Structure 1
Amino acid sequence: MHFHTIDTGIVHDTDLPWTPFAPYSDTVHVKLIKADPVRGETVSLLRAPMGTVLPMHHHGGTVIVYTISGAWRYAEHDWIATPGSVVYETAGSRHTPVTVEGHGDETVTLNITTGDLIYFDGEGRMAAIENWRTAVERYLDYCTRCGLEPRDVTHFGG
Structure 2
Amino acid sequence: MPKPENITALPPEPHEAMIKRFGKEGAFIPGDDTNNPWVPFGDAAAIKHLAFDIRNNSAANILWVKGGGRIGTHKHRGVVSAVTLEGSWGYYEYDWVARPGDFVYELPGTAHTLYSDDPNGMKALFWLNGAIEFFDDNGKYDFTADVFWFIDHYVSYCEANGIAVNKDMFI
| Larger of the two Rg values belongs to structure | 2
Shift of 1:145: 1.2
Q: Aligned with 2:71: secondary structure?
A: coil
- TM-score (normalizing by structure 1): 0.89
1:81 matches 2:94? no
Shift of 1:47: 0.8
1:2 to 15, 21, 25: 15
Unaligned runs of 5+ in 2: 1-13
Shift of 1:105: 1.1
Q: How many residues align?
A: 150
Change over 3 Å in CA distance of 1:8–1:143 after alignment to 2: closer
The whole-number CA distance in structure 1 between the counterparts of 2:162 and 2:38 is 14
Shift of 1:37: 0.1
Q: Percent identity?
A: 26
- TM-score (normalizing by structure 2): 0.83
Unaligned runs of 5+ in 1: none
2:47 to 26, 30, 33: 30
Residue 9 of structure 2 is matched in structure 1 by none
The whole-number CA distance in structure 2 between the counterparts of 1:43 and 1:128 is 19
Q: Please give the root-mean-square deviation of Cα atoms over the aligned residues, in Å.
A: 1.5
Shift of 1:125: 1.0
Residue 122 of structure 1 is matched in structure 2 by 137
After TM superposition, the structure 1 = structure 2 runs for residues 8-87 of structure 1, keeping only pairs within 5 Å, are 8-14=26-32, 15-21=35-41, 25-87=42-104
- Amino acid of the structure 2 residue aligned with 1:39: N
2:114 to 94, 97, 118: 97
| Greater RCO, CA 8 A, separation 6+ | 1
- Amino acid of the structure 1 residue aligned with 2:108: A
